[in-house]
Amino acid sequence: MQRALPMQPTIVLLKEGTDTSQGKGQLLSNISACLAVAETLATTLGPRGMDKLIVSQRGEAQITNDGATILKLLDIVHPAARTLVDIGRAQDAEVGDGTTSVVLLAAQILKEIKGYIEEGVSPQIIIKGLRKASQLAIDRIKELQVTVDKSDSKRFRSLLLKCASTSMSSKLIHSEKPFFSEMVVDAVQCLDQDDLDENLIGIKKIPGGGMTDSLLIRGVAFKKTFTYAGAEQQPKSFKNPLILSLNVELELKAEKDNAEVRVEAVSDYQAIVDAEWEIIYRKLQAIEKTGAKVVLSKLPIGDLATQWFADRDIFCAGRVPAQDLKRVVQAVGGSVQSTTSNISREHLGTCGSFEERQLGGERYNVLQDCPKAKTCTLLLRGGADQFIEEVERSLHDAIMVVKRAIKNGDVVAGGGAIEMELSAYIRKHALGIPGKIQLIMTAFARALEIIPRQISDNAGIDSTDILNKLRMRHAAGEKWVGVDVDGVEGVRDNMEAFVWEPSLVKVNAISSATEAACLILSVDETVRGPQSEQPNPGPRAPPGAAQRALRGRGRGMPRR
């Protein structure tokens, strides 16, 4: 008689209610989630891309076709799809453009290799093939990229204008590309060419007027701050004024809530009041002695100080935003002072002209011809607030692209040209590699074609016909042929057509998309912790029952 083996006890590792999903099904589910995100973004790509109207929970509406902004506003919760959000944000932070491309490319790579996952190919083999193909693509870009000679300033500026124009071609402002391209290039060239800190380009939005009413101020402009009586009596224009930047409050303050001062005579009280006035007058006189004609402070400047400055032909503005004050100091020199004593000439800045100017429905303080002008301000005009915000996002992308072009100076042709060339190159290279890796590299090459295909679809052109033409031309050695959404033929040499992009945008997009795809493929199990449950409060007592019970006990009634 065979003896039954004793039952092994069940070992519980995870808290009750934890959800675990694993295996091939989990991997395919993650890929499907990423494809759903890409479908949302796909129609925004290219010069004929559509915009998205996104309404938040609070009812605020935003219209945009910027990939990073859409991903941020969609509030995606699927853990695998969040990876695409992260690469979109990383692309936006690093190079500023190509956010939609990087998400579409990552999703298309996953779509192309989905069949191999279903057939049981190991994800590790797929990851190896994708990384090999990505490295080939990046090396090929570095071979093909065109380096523009920076010593020829006119030719280099022409390159920057073309890069800015290409970045704007898919945006809301594409109808005014020449105007805004000049503005963006001028703005970036105003900065210190060693560090190119884009935060020193101020952007102010003024509703009203047309797009072409927008201005570039070579210096600093900030909105007129909150002012007290006496502000209108101050002069509003200066030539070569001395400028003092403060972090000092210049107003009579009420005593603190808990302050207590005991006096025995009216004269003692009067001495305290006089001391308060003496303190503020001493500060104002110290400021006047510096010779400053423009006084700016991060903290409030009260009505007493405002009137005092007006009587002495000095302009003052309190509650200046910290970022604006920082840019003022960058432009005019000097430093922000936290005290009014011992201020010397090196603590003051200067500029060629200062004026308070009416722009639309707002008044702006404008400082121009600054000797240390490593900063500038874009004053954007337009109709609806959503429209101006989208213009700001478009210009941010263009500024980042121009910044990268200045730092690197290497460009490739846009409009799907470089993607088709890489696709043809990887296909040809894959033929010499035996085994499954060849299939994976070919799938990567097919995935690259999503960029020209989607540009064609969004422009209403037959994408199959366009891709056949592009494959034929690239096979014949025409490496810069890409999609032409305006022409009859549908394809053209985009390098000659000046559709240029910094090569860094493409290198970053391909490497980020590949890493994201490999990350998603390397996940085979999702463990989701149980939702924390609120304790059950039990049945509620009728209103007033607790009060009645307390009143009853107060009368000496026994506890029930």
Mean pLDDT of 458-467: 89
Q: Express each pLDDT in 151-203 by its tens digit.
A: 778 888 888 888 888 888 777 777 888 888 888 998 888 887 777 777 788 88
> Six-digit token pair at 248?
């000092």
Beta strands in 4-65 (DSSP E): 19-22, 52-55, 61-64
**In the prediction, which pLDDT does 135 show?**
94
**In the prediction, which pLDDT does 551 show?**
43
Least trusted range by pLDDT, from 96-100, 323-327, 362-366, 513-517: 96-100
Q: Are 381 and 210 in contact (CB under 8 A)?
A: yes
**In the prediction, which pLDDT does 375 show?**
81
Virtual torsion, Cα 170, 483, 517, 429, nearest 10 deg: -150
Q: Express each pLDDT in 410-438 by its tens digit.
A: 888 888 899 999 999 999 999 888 888 99
Q: Are 70 and 480 in contact (CB under 8 A)?
A: no
Least trusted range by pLDDT, from 51-60, 405-414, 539-548: 539-548
Mean pLDDT of 85-99: 83
**In the prediction, which pLDDT does 548 show?**
43
**In the prediction, which pLDDT does 251 show?**
80
Whether 331 has a pLDDT exceeding 70, the answer reads yes
Q: What is the mean pLDDT of the chain?
A: 82
Q: Express each pLDDT in 8-40 by its tens digit.
A: 555 555 555 555 566 677 788 888 888 988 888
DSSP string computed for 254-319: PPPTT-----SSHHHHHHHHHHHHHHHHHHHHHHHHTT-SEEEESS-B-HHHHHHHHHTT-EEE-S
Cα(423)–Cα(137) distance, integer angstroms: 8
Grouping H, G, I as helix, E, B as strand and the rest as coil, residue 502 is strand
Nearest to 502 by CA among 397, 432, 363, 354: 397
Cα separations in angstroms, 437 against 121, 431, 523: 11, 10, 20
**In the prediction, which pLDDT does 22 show?**
66
Whether 145 has a pLDDT exceeding 50, the answer reads yes
Mean pLDDT of 306-325: 89
Per-residue pLDDT band for 554 (boundaries 50, 70, 90) equals: very low
Per-residue pLDDT band for 105 (boundaries 50, 70, 90) equals: very high
Residue with tokens 């549908």: 490
Cα separations in angstroms, 111 against 34, 39, 426, 517: 9, 12, 18, 10
Q: Are 380 and 205 in contact (CB under 8 A)?
A: yes
Mean pLDDT of 135-139: 93
Which domains are present in the chain?
19-147+413-525 (1.10.560.10), 153-218+379-408 (3.30.260.10), 220-256+269-372 (3.50.7.10)
Per-residue pLDDT band for 532 (boundaries 50, 70, 90) equals: low
Cα(271)–Cα(261) distance, integer angstroms: 12
Q: Which amino acid is at 521?
A: L
> Six-digit token pair at 273?
């009041």
Residues in the chain: 560
Cα(147)–Cα(412) distance, integer angstroms: 9
**In the prediction, which pLDDT does 18 show?**
52
Per-residue pLDDT band for 300 (boundaries 50, 70, 90) equals: confident
**In the prediction, which pLDDT does 134 show?**
94
